[in-house]
Amino acid sequence: MNIVTAGAATQPVEHLTKDWDRWERVSLYLDRCQVDTPDELVLAAWAHISQLRHTVGKVIDFGAGDGRFAQAGQYGSYTGYEIDGRRCAAAALPANAKLVNACAFSYPIADADVAIGNPPFVRNQDLPSGWRARVAKLLKDRTGVSVSGLANAWQYFFLLSLASLKADGLCVLIVPYEWVSRPSARALREHIIANKWDVSVYRLIDTVFDSVLTTSSITVVDKRSRNGDWQFFEETAEGHYALLPSPSGSSQGVIPYLRRSEASERSPRAIRGLSPGTQKVLTLTEGERVRNGLEIGRDVVACVTSLRQLSNGMAELTEAVFRSCYRNAGEKCWLIRTDSLPSEALVAYLESVPKADYQTSTCLEREIWWKFKMPPVPEVLIAQSFKGRFPKAVKNVISARAVGGVSGVYGLDDDQSRTLCGGLDDVDIRERVVAHSNGLRKIEVNQLNALLNDAFANQ
Ligand SMILES: C[S@@+](CC[C@H](N)C(=O)[O-])C[C@H]1O[C@@H](n2cnc3c(N)ncnc32)[C@H](O)[C@@H]1O
């Protein structure tokens, strides 16, 4: 065990992570992990603990960074686990606190009174594969839970925290608010429900973490009471918490998630926008296309990565709209073609892309870094993030491909397209979707499919 006290040497992170994956993948993961929790939030987490416990003995913190959660609160002992020695080196800890420079999943702890922390927020695609396989198995053995392959890093740390507590322990973590409803966290929720632990989730005002595009929460799981109560709160502008009637805040509850197998065969279907691997180089602006001598049709096809440019009430993406709002506006609007033999110009363009511009897990996993599968042309393009009553949707007159946060809807007739582009007859779904970030709501594709199925399956 490599215990760190102030000023002590740590182990090179390359050595500690040598079994996780290739170093470039590990370093991508570690870069994405590095977020510092603001002091107010550290104090707020401890305030929740002191409301529920008079005295606290052993505290653990997985992914402890510089051990900042050790700086507040009253406790018998604090042990933080941090893989990155550079983070530990900056720590100045109280006498009853220590940092262990190792993977958080290396020790079979089961006697902690409190688990606290802000686990890493890293998407499933960016998790080191060897690490993920090992910790998924370890968690399955310890908790019986199979973590979804789509789970973000924080889920593994959340389960580890629960498993490392005594039978009456308390878990207080900063995790994305969306864990209360996202399908990828279902197994985690079911585990908590099956154990009848009490849960309080405090949705925080959006601006807490500038660099992480998500709404965060302080989530409290109390293993002591065993009533199985779940409560949801929203932070107010004055810094208090208001009780919410449901996770989304609506008395109608969150829009359900409909799997493909549960939808009617006749229902139109939304499919998530293409993730080409890197929009930076695989989608182009008009200027980039022209400068690289790429021809429309032969080398590139129209695409949209956002509907933000379109004014409310615009129902069709026509040539004129595409020209003024995308081509002339310098927006990314061309997707390279991967379904035909690339022309000399396209080959020259792809060869000119600096290696550093495609170091994403999606590109690195491909045999040919740029060769994604060309998506089909949808009838309607719909944004997943929205501020108004309903996500923006437009009829796809120009046969553009849906990319990134714009999804495509397939199998609609003209009437159905009109209804969808009119906000499914002007419904207000704002309160039925959990908050995402910066005042934005984000509807998941399977929630869109639930709405489409409700509206059109019986027509
Ligand atoms: C979101 S940061 C939080 C840091 C600090 N606790 C704070 O709140 O400011 C998550 C930390 O987890 C660390 N980490 C990621 N994977 C880890 C692992 N397997 N074991 C231990 N620490 C890990 C990262 O290096 C990073 O410092």
Q: Closest ligand 1 atom to the C-alpha of 36?
A: 9
- Does pTM surpass 0.85? no
SS3 398: coil
**33 C-beta closer than 6 A to ligand 1:** yes
Residues of the chain with pLDDT under 50: 1-2, 5-8
194 CA distance to ligand 1 centroid (A)? 28
Asked if 456 and 414 touch (Cβ cutoff 8 Å), the reply is no
Q: What is the pLDDT of residues 311-333, one digit of tens each?
A: 888 899 999 999 999 999 999 99
Closest CA to 386 of 331, 439, 322: 439
Q: Which residues pair with 334 in a beta bridge?
A: 284, 302
The domains found in the chain, sorted by start residue, are: 3-244 (3.40.50.150), 260-456 (no CATH)
At residue 405, the pLDDT reads 93
The pLDDT of residue 340 is 95
Q: Whose Cα sits closest to atom 12 in ligand 1?
A: 63
Per-residue confidence (pLDDT) for residue 459, from 0 to 100: 62
Q: Give residue 240's identity as a one-letter amino acid code.
A: H
Query: Which pLDDT belongs to residue 162?
Result: 98
Q: Residues with Cβ < 8 Å from 371, sequence gap 6 or more? A: 338
The 10s digit of each residue's pLDDT in 259-290 is 878 877 788 999 999 999 999 999 999 999 99
The residues, ordered by sequence, that sit 6+ positions from 61 with a Cβ below 8 Å of its Cβ are 67, 69, 70, 78, 79, 80, 81, 115, 116, 117
By CB neighbour count within 10 A (0-12 exposed, 13-18 middle, 19+ buried), where does 75 fall? buried
* Size of the chain in residues: 459
Residue 104 CB–ligand 1 contact under 6 Å: yes
- What pLDDT does residue 2 have? 47
Among 15, 17, 35, residue to substitute to test ligand 1 (most atoms within 8 Å of Cβ): 35
What is the sign of the dihedral through the CA atoms of 85, 89, 94 and 96? positive
126 in ligand 1 pocket by Cβ < 6 Å?
Answer: no
